[in-house]
Amino acid sequence: MKIVVDGMGGDKGSREVLKGIKVTLDEKDDIEIIVVGQEEKLSKILDEMKFSSKRLTIVNADEVIEMTDEPVAAVREKKKSSVNVGLELVKKGEADAFVSAGNTGALISASQLKLRRIKGILRPAIATVFPSKKGKIVFMDVGANADTKPEYINQFAIMGTEFAKEILKVDIPKVSLLNIGSEEGKGNEITRQAFDLLKENKEINFIGNIESREMMFGDADVIVSDGFTGNMVLKTSEGMVNYIFSVLKEEIGKSFFAKLGIFLLKKSLRNMKNKLDSSEYGGALFLGLNGISIKAHGNSDYIGIKNAIIVADSFAKNKFVEKLKDIINDN
């Protein structure tokens, strides 16, 4: 598979992206990578890293969409940006997937513009993977659709089910609707109507509502929501994880016995951190498009970039887009 990586995206800069690419190519001998960005800058960093590979190609893109740019305007005005150039390669069939840790809004806009929706898809959605007590869960939409209709959420459940089969390796994923209560009839007009549609949907295994506090402890494999709520839950969760570890670090520094206890729990705490680290899950997939577009976390280190590339490669190899088209066309 040939994966395109945005060499200019991400909070940690191009060097971290290239480091992630290097690790990927070192570990996986069946992946080719095209890194898109300012060729002179990327080449200089690769020279400093003393890294070259026959499976790595640089494609020049003069412009950069910054994190602070207005997404839609940037996509329209910066036609030679790394995001536009990279997605164009996927659109033309010259690559199998695109990965970026850059501006989320710009990636959404450019992905829809370049790749277009699968026929029959009402709205694309962003699906991500959350840690849970039983392993992992799929959660969507986490930001593509702030304003959502019940029929969109119903279709998110179909797409999320296929996503979960692929990434969680679950044959019949259990689907829940994020709501303010677990009982039928809870929520606003949109969630109540969405509940009715999900209940009647024969393509999914719907098990009812779920509250946000139960997301990581419940039976659901897939949890669906409107994009506004989903994005708030995602960012609150990330913030809470960071807060917990910052408080823990502060408290450890206050006591010798706390430091001793942490030393004894070092392995367990490392495992806990890995489970809660978003970079471990390979980014979010923009579902419902005629191509694979992966959003790595903006703060991804080289491990996060590597994992995003591997996820993109897996979905491309397993022809996920073609499978989703078949499911949608059958409905």
Both 17 and 105 in one domain: the answer is yes
Determine how many CB atoms are found less than 10 A away from the CB of residue 292. Answer: 27
For the chain, the domain total comes to: 2
| DSSP symbols for 169-225 | --SS-EEEEE-S-SSTT-S-HHHHHHHHHHHH-TTSEEEEEE-GGGTTTSS-SEEE-
Q: For the whole model, what pTM was predicted?
A: 0.86
Both 169 and 97 in one domain: the answer is no
Both 230 and 144 in one domain: the answer is yes
Both 18 and 159 in one domain: the answer is no
Both 159 and 274 in one domain: the answer is yes
The reply to whether 330 falls in a domain is: no
Question: Is the pLDDT score of 134 beyond 90?
Answer: no
The reply to whether 206 falls in a domain is: yes
For the chain, give the mean pLDDT. Answer: 90
Both 140 and 103 in one domain: the answer is no
Both 70 and 145 in one domain: the answer is no
130, 237 contact by CB (below 8 A): yes
Domain that holds residue 130: 122-279
The reply to whether 324 falls in a domain is: no
Both 265 and 131 in one domain: the answer is yes
CATH of the domain at 40: 3.40.718.10
Burial of residue 72 (CB within 10 Å: 0-12, 13-18, 19+) is: middle
The reply to whether 235 falls in a domain is: yes
Both 129 and 236 in one domain: the answer is yes
Q: 257 versus 1: which is more confidently predicted?
A: 1
Residue that finishes a domain, picked among 248, 279, 310: 279
Residue 181 dihedral angles phi and psi, to the nearest 5°: -160, 155
Confidence (pLDDT) at 282:
61
The reply to whether 201 falls in a domain is: yes
The reply to whether 325 falls in a domain is: no
Both 155 and 275 in one domain: the answer is yes
The reply to whether 328 falls in a domain is: no
296, 308 contact by CB (below 8 A): yes
SS3 (DSSP) at 6: strand
Both 35 and 144 in one domain: the answer is no
User: Tens digits of per-residue pLDDT, 31-59?
Assistant: 999 999 999 999 999 999 999 899 999 99
User: Tens digits of per-residue pLDDT, 81-126?
Assistant: 999 999 999 999 999 999 999 998 899 999 999 999 999 999 999 9
The reply to whether 327 falls in a domain is: no
Both 168 and 185 in one domain: the answer is yes
Split at pLDDT 50, 70, 90, the class of 327 is confident
